[in-house]
Structure 1
């Protein structure tokens, strides 16, 4: 088994690599070549979350599981709140093949999924990017979004506004004007990315203009919520996996309120394969409910393992 430590990941997998791996995963899921196993998520108290995401991709030859969760007290200890490790297995024999640090990979695959939704669903003339959230993953989201659209400025809101300076620095790095705004001004945005761990809706239906694309990336557990259910009720809703969307994703609240049915939610992979046209009009609101599927983690981890093997990096151990 090859151990690929967290410290090596940045040199092995680029944002462009993650985009390609996640895009291939979406397509494989749409074709029926890959599927996720049921998610296990547990609340540990004091905001801590822990669980397992796993699956099998026959076309990619990947079988495995990501173990990890969200530990909000970590920031005070100088480590990131999201902690995870990916384990890969030989799909023919079940033998473990790799253990891969999952911190950076999680941020890269989450940003890639969001960017793919923007690339496929946002209006081509989108020029203003709205960011709701300014935590660890927000910078990855901003950089990934900027790679697929020629934004002219960024507006942002965070529950704790003092954290916005870090996101503003990323915007400056990209050459984009940056402004902290109240949520009401998100109506100016053509694309809005939400990336928070909120237990209650921050972004309301009234905060979103016609023609906007939203990538809602923070809700991945029962009880989390970033946007008002009414917004999903009037949007064309897409997701990484419908089962997760209605059980642990943003759609859980709209479905519970009777504003949205599972049959009205479209897998994003269907847009990639041509089974669904995607955005239908310039005035349509499109919303991607990014719950984070295990297959994405396996795909980027497998890429890291291949690169490490090619370069003779990592630690080989016998179990």
Structure 2
């Protein structure tokens, strides 16, 4: 088994690599060549979450699981709140083939999925990017979004505004004007990324203009919520996986309230493959419910393992 520690991942997988891997993952899912297994998610108390996401990609020969979760006290320990490891197995024999640090990979694949949705669904003339949230993953979201659109400026809101300068520094690196704004000014944005761990909606219908695209990336557990159900119901909804969207994703609330039917939600992979046209008009609000699927983790981890093996990096251990 090849062990690829967290410290090596940054030199093995780039933002562009993650986008390529996630695009391929969505396409394989749409072609029924890959499937995710049911998510195991447990609350540990004090905001801590732990669980497993796993799946099988028959086309890519990938079988594996990501184990990890969210530990909000980690910031005080000097480490990221999200902690995870990806394990890969030979799909024919079940033999373990790799263990890969999953923290950076999770941030990269989450941002890549968001950026892919923007690339496929946002209006071609989108120029103002809005971001709701300024935690660890927000910077990754901004960098990935900058790969798929030529933004003219970035506006952002966070419940704790003192965290926004760090996101502003990322915008400065990218040469983008940045402004911290109240939620009411999100109506100026052509695309909005929500990336929070909130238990209650912050983004409301009145904060979003006609024709905007929303990439809702923070809700991946029962009870989390970033967007009011009426806004979700008013949008054309896409997702990584419908089963997760209606149970642990942003759509769980609109579906639970009877405002949205699961059959109205389209897998983003169908847009990737051309089976669905995506955005139908410039006035339409599109929404991507990014719940985070195990196959994405396997795709980016597999890329890290391949490159580590090619470069003689990592450690081979007997198991």
Question: What is the DSSP-based 3-state SS (H/G/I as helix, E as strand, rest coil) of the residue aligned with 2:63?
Answer: strand
Tell me the distance in 1 between the aligned counterparts of 2:267 and 2:9. 29
Q: CA offsets per residue over residues 258-311 of structure 1, 9 Å max, x none?
A: 110100000000001111000000000000000000000000000000000000
Q: Counterpart in 2 of 1:107?
A: 107
CA distance in 2: counterparts of 1:273 and 1:302, whole angstroms: 22
Per-residue CA distance 1:67-125 (angstroms, 9 max, x = gap): 00000000000000000000000000000000000000000000000000000000000
C-alpha distance in structure 2 between counterparts of 1:207 and 1:115, whole Å: 21
* Structure 1: unaligned runs, 5 residues or longer: none
* Counterpart Cα distance in 1 of 2:35 and 2:23: 14
Question: Aligned equivalents of 1:129 and 1:274: distance in 2?
Answer: 26
CA distance in 1, matches of 2:262, 2:274: 20
Mapping 1:164-175, distance limit 5 Å: 164-175=164-175
**Are positions 1:261 and 2:261 aligned together?**
yes
Matched residue, 1:288: 288
| Greater than 3 Å deviation, 4+ residue runs | none
* Matching of residue 246 in structure 1 with residue 235 in structure 2: no
Paired with 1:61 and 1:160, the residues of 2 have a C-alpha distance of 43
1:204 shift after superposition: 0.6
TM-score, normalised on structure 1?
Answer: 1.00
- 1:21 equivalent in structure 2: 21
- Displacement of 1:186 in angstroms is 0.2
Output one character per residue of 1:1-57: Cα deviation in whole Å (capped at 9) or x when no partner. 000000000000000000000000000000000000000000000000000000000
SS at match of 1:223: coil
> CA shift at 1:178, angstroms?
0.4
Q: What SS does structure 1 have at the residue aligned with 2:146?
A: helix
Q: Give 3-state SS (helix, strand or coil) of 1:218's partner.
A: coil
SS at match of 1:148: coil
- The separation in 2 between residues aligned to 1:115 and 1:2, in whole angstroms, is 30
2:79 corresponds to which residue?
Answer: 79
Deviations 1:129-168 (A, max 9, x none): 0000000000000010011011000000000000000000
What's the counterpart of residue 199 of structure 1? 199
In structure 1, what is the Cα distance between the partners aligned to 2:46 and 2:104? 24
Q: Which residue of 2 aligns with 1:49?
A: 49
Q: Structure 2 length normalisation: TM-score? A: 1.00
CA RMSD of aligned residues (A): 0.3
